[in-house]
Amino acid sequence: MNRFLEKTRNMFTKENIVHAIKERIGTIILFVLLIVFVIWGYFSIGSARENAITYETEYTAPESNVDFADPGEYVSIAKTDKLELLFNEAKGGVQVVNLENGYVWKGICDNEVYDLENLNAQWAGYLQSPITISYYDLQRRDSGVSTLYAGRDAKVMSHEMIENGVAVSYGFTTPGITVVVEYTLDGDEFVVRIPYEKIREESKYALALIEVLPFFGAATNEVGGYLFYPDGSGAITAYDRAELRPSNVLAATYYTYTNRTVNFMNLFNDESYNRYTASMPVFGIKNGDNALFAVATGDAANSGIKVTPSGSVVDLNRIAFEVYVRNVYTVNMYSMSSGVGTSATGGMVQRVDKNLIPEDKEIRYFFLTGEDADYSGMANAYRNYLLDNGLLKDAIKDGDELPLALRLLMGTSKEGMIFDEYIPMTSFDQVQDMMYRLQVDGVGGMEVVLQAWMKGYDEYEYWGPARQLGGTSGLKDLSQYAEAHPESNIYLENGFMFASSETSGLNEDKDVVYDGLDVEVSAENMDGTVFYLTNPLAAYNRNMKLLSKLKGYNNLGVAYDDVGKYAFPDFNEDAPYTKSGTVEQLRMLLSSTAADGRSVATQGSNQYVFTYTDFLYGLREDNYGLSITDYSVPFVQMVVSGLIPYATEGAGNLSYDLQTQKLKWIEYGSVPYFYLTYESALNLRDTDHDTLFSSTFDDWESTVVETYKEFEENFSDVYGEQIVDHKIITEDLIRVEYSNGIVIYINYGDRNAVADGITVEPKSYVVYRGGEQ
Amino acid sequence: MKSLKKIGVGLLAGLTCMMSVSMTALASGTDNYVTGDDNYRQPVPQSYNVVERINNIGEFEDDRKNFNNPQDVFVDDNDFVYIVDSGNNRVIKMNPSYETVAIFYGPDKAFNSPQGIFVDKDGDMYVADTNNSRIVHMNPNGELVEVFVNPESELNTGTAFSPSKLIVTETGYIYVVRGENIMSIDGNNEFRGYYGQTNIGYDLVEALMRIFASEQQQSFITKRLASSYINLTLGDDGMIYATSMEREEGEIKQLNSIGTNIYRKYKTIGNSIRNPITDFINNKVLKSVVAGNTFKFGEYFDDNGEYMEPIFVDICVDDEGIVTVLERLNGKVYQYDQDGRMLVAFGGLGEKKGTFIMPAAIDVDSKGNLLVLDRTNNNLQVFEPTEFIQLVHAATSSYNNGNYTESYDLWRQVLAIDENYDLAHVGIARTYYKQEMFKESMEESKLVGDRDVYTMAFDEYKYVVLRAHFVPIILIALFIIVAVIVIFIVFNKYAKKAYWSYLEDKNKKMGIGQGILYSLYTMLHPIDTLEGIRYNRTRINMAIPFIILIASYVVRVAYLYIVHFPLASIELEDVNLVFEAVKLWIVPLSWIPANFMATSISGGESKIPEITFTSTLSLVPFIVINVPLMFLSNILSKSQQSWYGVFSALAYVGMFLILFLSMMILNNYTIKKTIGMMLVSAFMMLVIWLVALLCYILTGRAIQFVISIFEEFRLNYL
């Protein structure tokens, strides 16, 4: 035993220990690392638990008080001069009667609308649902979304009479979610409100989305009519063209102002932007001689428009708002073994925010009959609504001349072997020269947007006139030139919504947009430059700085190339914004520019810019082109026509056929628009602006002047007038009527076309001024 | 869009990016574009508009209104449209307004998954009734005329006969795609031979196997087959146009009467001898670089910048010889002129009008409308040519017909719409050339980087100038020759002096100026100078290798700027400075450790310093040759390329020679041993490259790992 102790003692001499350590150094380091990992893992799990949303209280579902088999009865609960609201207690549904002609707009389907007996329980329930809810399981890491239908799953229902209407509470017992919806009449409008404070979540489920009256006005193909939705300039899905559609009809959803999930590439990618974005929170239904027009008026930014033509499971054409009560993010899971963006389950996981979006939802429905029951009537109604609420500026003054719209690319850079090479395309002096030459040729007013005029355009700088273009002195001269020519507006284009790590003065922590998981919304290119979305407050502050820099250049306006295109929620801790909050901040940005006495131009037609903008450019002149869409209509243009001058996305010089482009301008009431450079477009090869394949001023000057003169001669008397009626007579023949009675017929076809006794030559148009042509 | 368009190219490509940046420009979002030799997408005006989307048979009486997995579309001479609706086992005939006028289900027995159709001038239909293994000939009313089955022949053996795509010539021969061949059958159902098989080339590995393998082993070696044909069509010129799975050229073929492909080729020299090493490097390691920098049919990158190999599922040719092909993987329609130059690319995958999910077939009608069939969308989209592309078609056709002035006017009209349209500039340059306006032709072709036309014009222009100013040019040339001789004599004198002073003054270290002259003297007396280093190894100046390295790099960069346009191997904006340095230095620098390792274990005497010195000396020939060459190149053009290539090659021969001599002299080896050691060193060098590559990839992975841990940490705690 002693010997053993001795042996043990000898073993622990200093040399032996050092030796032992030396021998096992690799193993020791490995174990230390392992321990570090374990501790780190322990804490990270701990913190994840802490962050997780859990509900302590056990939820027990109350007894059901609803008999879904009971057809119930509709009773009148409110009445105005024009409308009557009926409520069915058993179904929790409403109907709106248009008293002008007695037409009943049904909030949910009954057997008269569709044969409910032959549907399965889920679909029968869906068709009879005033709302549906979609929710996530908070305790599951990658929970999918689940949907419930009030007509099948709202097992606890109650209601309360309120002024001019009813508040119905829909209790979904499975997830323990209760939603209160208020249906009221307000004058000629039917209003649906969902107060966020009355949404109750009593279990571990988080409500994300509510479809509001998904089958309001749903109709079969035999009814005749169409669905209208703001895809691009406006789109129509006609009931009578159902036969022509493919067998696999899919619903399409358009998200107001910006795609719903905030992801940098989604925002930046034009294709995905155009596919998913609605610039106005509106839709319309035309059923026979009656039409319904819906506008999201409360928290419009958090709404989407879901279009479902007949053929998608049931043969009902339907369209409705879905409203978002919670932000949902797509989380990119990190995977150690296979790199960023992939995970065992496929990479992208949906997560929801902890809290509800603190905004009440409100939707207003307008009802149109007879002549007005079409998209023109809807545009007129919407225009009046915006004007009444001070949301639409009347920027065109009496006596204003029809302007020519120009966008001028000032400069760009090209990657060189060692240094990037700056390529000046139009200097400030050359802008003057171009405007002067055009003026001499007879062009009156001009709306001129200068793009990339600052140094560091690619770095999203907002100030610093490029030296190669004439620098500050050149800009000063231009400002003076603008002063001498009040009939024209010159806008310095800026973008405040995007920034990059190269942007000077940008705080990459504080001035950028975060998603709900506290991660910056960003993307990185191959050079290592990181691109960000700017926090709305930071964007506002940067604009204020621009305005202070612009002191002394008093006659120059500002153009915003993205403020009218993107709005998103921001979870930046220093300056958080809901999506509607962002919209408000962007409106303040525009209003401060207007308050500075400057003209404002915006690219993109998100409805919130209409209050302040003097010139809209880049308005889409088509829709995305899904297979469910039958026609394109100039809805956005009709709303602003005669109030704000606008230019289309397509420039005359980039069109494959200028004549077709001109006809489009005429149909859409757009001013003639060219996107030019002073220097030769050949310099733009292999640059970021290679899409500008043909823009040289010298080559285009005469065409621009001719086009302008043609417009001035023919359309001066409709400039400043509203488009009150637009009709697609045949696919090639369009009739447009202005508020002063002037009618224009446009023929896109290759043959003569006749309408109302007037013959229109191929690829041509006729202006009909009552009696004379 | 601002410079963000470069996002979207993945990271692996860390390595490949380093070598080529041209691929990065691909992600630019544009619907209509052309790509030139470097795959750069140059936007062009809208070329086709979708005028119809046909999803079903319309009013026609049939229970199954919609198409189901349709596989082929054919437009006959009267613009009647035939759709092979495979999933529904029927053939739909539509009139030129796309109204269904007839549906055929099979004359004698029902069609079984038919895949292709051809309709002749009389309206007689030939349907490839695939799963019934036969070709059915019907008259325009759908009544049976005859049936063709698999013809009997000893050459026609192997896989079962399942005809899919076919054409019928005016002689009544049926040509049907059969694997790597097109099989022809005559009117009596007799086998008439195979047509248009590709030469599969020579394969070193296979040749060796044949020599060494026993008979038994040979039976196990799978026979190499030529790439399969995918589809074919009959041109108005009577030629067969076809697409195949080939990768190196011949994806699109124009086959003449004896089955030889006469369409645009990638290589001017025929089937070169292939060896496994360069094959491996070109096809595996550098495939995206190679694909990104040379002309190929279609594109090798999809809209997200990911590498892909195009599959041309169908082809059609209009009466002017304009070839349009349909690519399946990125859903693009590519259009080429009669010479294989791209006119426009459009389409793509997506859900909007004018895009596809699984495009299956394409055909063109007499008005130039393109009809594209999608087998997943189950629809037919009709694309109408715009004014722009019609002008382009007219211009290429009139050039091909020899109406140069008319073509010139048409190209001018094209340029009025698109100032940057490459082919218009090339067309105008070619017309200028025909009109002997060489200077203008050069300018025009240089604008769009067309080296071939530039070379033609430049060569002519050279003679014009020479003829006009013969005497002064000769005088200048004489003066330059004299000047060069004088410079050479003076240089030789000083270099000699530097050499001797280094050898004799045993106490002094080599000075910088002296070292430079000494290095240059290597060009004249390599053995002497190398021996001088061997015996005075302690006194060499280690600044000299650095100076040489820098100088060679400066020369390379200057060369890129100065070299004559048609001889430049790479566009300036595509140059990657890091990659240039790697290319230039990799051999001399990796030679140092390789050489040292090899020689130190086999009785070598050389040490790292002098190996470094002599290895970098191997760059001296490069410097000496390239400095005059880059200036000289400005009076040379592509037609003197081979002549010019000799000089470029000399630099490498010089490099090799110096490395060889230095190894021999520094280590006092015999020639035989030197050769052996060279091979060992070369092998070492390869090992070093591979290890370096491995390290690069592994550290990349490690860094990615650390970053992802850090990211997770940051997301959780910060």
A76 or B506, which is more confident? A76
- Rounded to a whole number, what is the distance in angstroms from the first to the last CA of chain B? 33
Whether B4 has its CB under 8 Å from any CB of chain A: the answer is yes
User: A390-728: what CATH class?
Assistant: alpha beta
Q: Is residue A80 very low, low, confident or very high in pLDDT (cuts 50, 70, 90)?
A: very high
The H or E element spanning position A583 is: helix A579-595
CB contact under 8 A, A415 and B573: yes
What DSSP string describes A264-296? Answer: HHHHH-HHHHHHHEESSSEEEEEETTEEEEEEE
Supply the pLDDT for residue B27: 36
* A736 within 8 A of A725, measured Cβ to Cβ: yes
Mutate to test the interface with B, among A268, A331, A451, A526 (most CBs of B within 10 A): A526
The H or E element spanning position A402 is: none
Residue numbers of B between 572 and 601 with CB closer than 8 Å to A: 572-573, 575, 577
The predicted model gives A603-622 an average pLDDT of 93
Q: Strand A404-409 and strand A446-451: pairing?
A: parallel
CB contact under 8 A, A627 and B379: yes
CB contact under 8 A, B420 and A529: no
- Considering only alpha carbons, which residue of chain B is nearest residue A498? B2
Q: Which of A750, A85, A743, A681 is nearest to A409 (CA)?
A: A681
**ipTM, 2 decimals?**
0.85
- Considering only alpha carbons, which residue of chain A is nearest residue B390? A656
Whether B418 has its CB under 8 Å from any CB of chain A: the answer is yes
pLDDT at B17 over 50: no
Domains A74-384 and A390-728 share a fold: no
Percentage of chain B with pLDDT > 70?
87
Query: Between B7, B29, B353, which is nearest A525 by CB?
Result: B7
CB contact under 8 A, A690 and B420: yes
Query: Between B2, B46, B577, which is nearest A418 by CB?
Result: B577
Q: Is residue B22 very low, low, confident or very high in pLDDT (cuts 50, 70, 90)?
A: very low
Interface A–B counts its CB contacts (< 8 A) at 159
The predicted model gives B192-207 an average pLDDT of 73
Query: Between A271, A336, A498, which is nearest B705 by CB?
Result: A336
- What is the side-by-side strand order in the sheet with B72-75? B72-75, B81-85, B90-94, B100-104
* A195 within 8 A of A205, measured Cβ to Cβ: no
Supply the pLDDT for residue A180: 96
CB atoms within 10 A of CB A570: 27
Supply the pLDDT for residue B37: 67
CB contact under 8 A, B1 and A268: yes
Percentage of chain A with pLDDT > 90?
67
pLDDT tens across B367-406, in order?
999 999 999 989 999 999 999 999 999 999 998 888 888 9
- Considering only alpha carbons, which residue of chain B is nearest residue A651? B45
What DSSP string describes B568-632? Answer: -SS-GGG--HHHHHHHHHHHHHHHHHHHHHHHHTTT----HHHHHHHHHHTTHHHHHHHHHHHHH
Identify all chain B residues contacting A415, using CB atoms and an 8 Å cutoff: 21, 573
Q: Is residue B147 very low, low, confident or very high in pLDDT (cuts 50, 70, 90)?
A: very high
Whether B42 has its CB under 8 Å from any CB of chain A: the answer is yes
- Considering only alpha carbons, which residue of chain B is nearest residue A703? B416
* B455 within 8 A of B566, measured Cβ to Cβ: yes
CB contact under 8 A, A339 and B708: yes
Distance from CA of A332 to the nearest CA of B (A): 11
Enter the pTM of the model: 0.85
Residue numbers of B between 329 and 368 with CB closer than 8 Å to A: 350-354
User: Which residue is it, tokens 């050359």?
Assistant: A430
- Considering only alpha carbons, which residue of chain B is nearest residue A340? B708
Identify all chain B residues contacting A530, using CB atoms and an 8 Å cutoff: none
CB contact under 8 A, A699 and B416: yes
B712 or B517, which is more confident? B517
Whether B569 has its CB under 8 Å from any CB of chain A: the answer is no
Identify all chain B residues contacting A334, using CB atoms and an 8 Å cutoff: 708, 711-712
Burial of B501 (0-12, 13-18, 19+ CB in 10 A): middle
C-alpha A137/C-alpha A143 separation (Å) is 6
CB contact under 8 A, A275 and B352: yes
* A482 within 8 A of A490, measured Cβ to Cβ: yes
B294-330 in b/e form (b: 16+ CB < 10 A) is ebbbbbbbbbebbbbebbbbbbbbbebbbbbbbbbbb
Q: Is residue B20 very low, low, confident or very high in pLDDT (cuts 50, 70, 90)?
A: very low
- Rounded to a whole number, what is the distance in angstroms from the first to the last CA of chain A? 125
Whether B392 has its CB under 8 Å from any CB of chain A: the answer is no
Supply the pLDDT for residue B704: 80
Whether B703 has its CB under 8 Å from any CB of chain A: the answer is no
A377 or A417, which is more confident? A377
pLDDT at A258 over 90: no
Whether B711 has its CB under 8 Å from any CB of chain A: the answer is yes
Q: Which amino acid is at B662?
A: S
pLDDT tens across A677-720, in order?
999 999 998 888 888 999 999 999 999 999 999 999 999 999 99
CB contact under 8 A, B9 and A526: yes
Q: Which of A254, A268, A226, A240 is nearest to A623 (CA)?
A: A254
CB contact under 8 A, B419 and A626: no
Whether B2 has its CB under 8 Å from any CB of chain A: the answer is yes
- Looking from the CA of B710 toward its CB, the CA atoms found within 13 Å total 6
Query: Between B447, B572, B711, which is nearest A417 by CB?
Result: B572
Choices 3.50.50.60, 2.40.50.1020, 2.30.110.10, 2.120.10.30: CATH for B18-385: 2.120.10.30
C-alpha A592/C-alpha B582 separation (Å) is 55
Distance from CA of B639 to the nearest CA of A (A): 27
CB contact under 8 A, A696 and B419: yes
Whether B442 has its CB under 8 Å from any CB of chain A: the answer is no
CB atoms within 10 A of CB A462: 22
pLDDT tens across A278-332, in order?
999 999 999 999 999 999 999 999 999 999 999 888 999 999 999 999 988 777 6
CB contact under 8 A, A625 and B417: no
* Orientation angle between helical segments B641-667 and B620-632, nearest 10 degrees: 170
CB contact under 8 A, B420 and A682: yes
Highest mean pLDDT among A23-27, A183-187, B293-297: A183-187
- Radius of gyration of the CA atoms of chain B, in A: 32
Q: Which amino acid is at B479?
A: F
CB contact under 8 A, B43 and A40: no
Domain boundaries, chain A: 2-51, 74-384, 390-728
Domain B393-468 matching CATH 1.25.40.10: the answer reads yes
The predicted model gives B656-682 an average pLDDT of 90
Q: Is residue B19 very low, low, confident or very high in pLDDT (cuts 50, 70, 90)?
A: very low
Domain boundaries, chain B: 18-385, 393-468, 470-700
Q: Which of A496, A469, A133, A507 is nearest to A323 (CA)?
A: A133
CB contact under 8 A, A458 and B386: no
CB contact under 8 A, A682 and B447: yes
C-alpha B256/C-alpha B237 separation (Å) is 10
3-state helix, strand, coil in chain B (%, to 5): 45, 20, 35
- Architecture of A74-384 per CATH? Distorted Sandwich (2.70)
**Residue B166's beta-bridge partner residues?**
B176
pLDDT tens across B474-496, in order?
999 999 999 999 999 999 999 99
A398 or A346, which is more confident? A398
C-alpha B327/C-alpha A21 separation (Å) is 65
CB contact under 8 A, A44 and B712: yes
Sign, Cα dihedral of A76, A79, A84, A87: negative
Identify all chain B residues contacting A336, using CB atoms and an 8 Å cutoff: 705, 708-709
CB contact under 8 A, A525 and B717: no
pLDDT tens across A643-654, in order?
999 999 999 999
Residue numbers of B between 650 and 679 with CB closer than 8 Å to A: none
Query: Between B43, B387, B716, which is nearest A44 by CB?
Result: B716
Identify all chain B residues contacting A458, using CB atoms and an 8 Å cutoff: 2-3
Mutate to test the interface with B, among A51, A231, A245, A247 (most CBs of B within 10 A): A247
